[in-house]
Structure 1
């Protein structure tokens, strides 16, 4: 067997192969993380509601039902979807944090207004405490001046809400079933993405070897 690789092509191929494998491993890890998050949510889905103090001062359990608290201010608007999948503005107000909380006020959802609609729909009666969503790669930029938020930003939101600080870990949201960030991209989707990236890595390697074989630089006979 003989193999005389093209130096530049080999370097580029190795770089591409590394990126594809990294993407595949990332999606594989996201599959496990998403499965754990869904399992944690389902474990408390039917639990009795607890107070915000119990939810935050005890061992935080994402998805646990909580009793709504009294909020203040006109609220901030966060882009989102209702239970029917219609886009609109979710309005949140700042709730006084329990004494044990160190992260400031907690945002609590109060109503939802569909784009083009005039009347907001009450968010109640059931609420859950959830981790604030992580920034998405394609999230639009916030517009604090217009009170329009597309990603969670504790500093910007606190200024609009008129409070000193906001809890950057948890907020209280209306219970609409499994959260969109868990339902829209289930673990099976991440598995498909991982297999796609790994498959592309295998194809890249096959093309690399086939190219060298076609140019007489790879063979399985003695020369």
Structure 2
């Protein structure tokens, strides 16, 4: 019987470690769901005035209400949505009534409407402050000459349009119809893969126990 002890202990302790990792991922899942619920609550809270010096960490997703005029120039960011398919986000300079210039993400237009005229308009916008991180190793370089952007880089866009590095993503636009459909901030882009990781760890634990049982079974067979 002694020869079974070591493989049995390895099997049991290995499975226990894998199960513990699965339980930890479930705990992380509860934590992430709480964070997402908090963010979602903040996104739809009552809007406030634009802070004088917004902070990318403290003021991310802050709901604000701003009034001003869109600029004559826009930056078109290629996106894909479930309802529209290929589309472009329209980001423009937004000159507030008090003279401040910020970035405004008005929303999206279908790809075929990319070059449609969108003259300056005086608008009141309810939206959220955002500093999106949309760059990864697969993101192409922006083609500024053709006005094809592939990520909303607030600092780069602000330099391009001569504004503060502050972006408001519209949730509601009050004023003339500018032909753009708001695409508000939400939590869809925030990864929450903990349930999948938990299932993987539990699956590995089951495989580990199965392999241990198979090994012990083979060890128990009489030698021919």
Instruction: Determine if the TM-score, normalized by the shorter chain, exceeds 0.5.
Output: yes
The residue correspondences of 1:63-74 to structure 2 (distance < 5 A) are 63-72=62-71, 74=73
Aligned to 1:30: 32
Aligned to 2:171: 175
Q: How many residues align?
A: 199
More strand by share: 2
- 1:201 and 1:84 map into 2 onto residues whose CA distance is 35
Compare CA radii of gyration and give the structure with the larger one.
2
Aligned partners of 1:113 and 1:120 also within 8 Å: no
The verdict on how the C-alpha distance between 1:83 and 1:60 changes in structure 2, with shifts beyond 3 A counting, is farther
Aligned to 2:152: 152
Aligned to 1:109: 105
**Tell me, which stretches of 5 or more residues in structure 2 are unaligned?**
173-181, 220-224
The Cα shift of 1:150 comes to: 2.7
The Cα shift of 1:214 comes to: 0.9
1:119 aligns with 2:124: no
**Tell me, which stretches of 5 or more residues in structure 1 are unaligned?**
none
The residue correspondences of 1:59-138 to structure 2 (distance < 5 A) are 60=59, 62-72=61-71, 74-80=73-79, 85-95=84-94, 106-110=102-106, 112-117=108-113, 119=116, 126-135=125-134
Task: Return the TM-score normalized by structure 2.
Answer: 0.60
Secondary structure of the equivalent of 1:181?
A: coil
- 1:84 and 1:55 map into 2 onto residues whose CA distance is 36
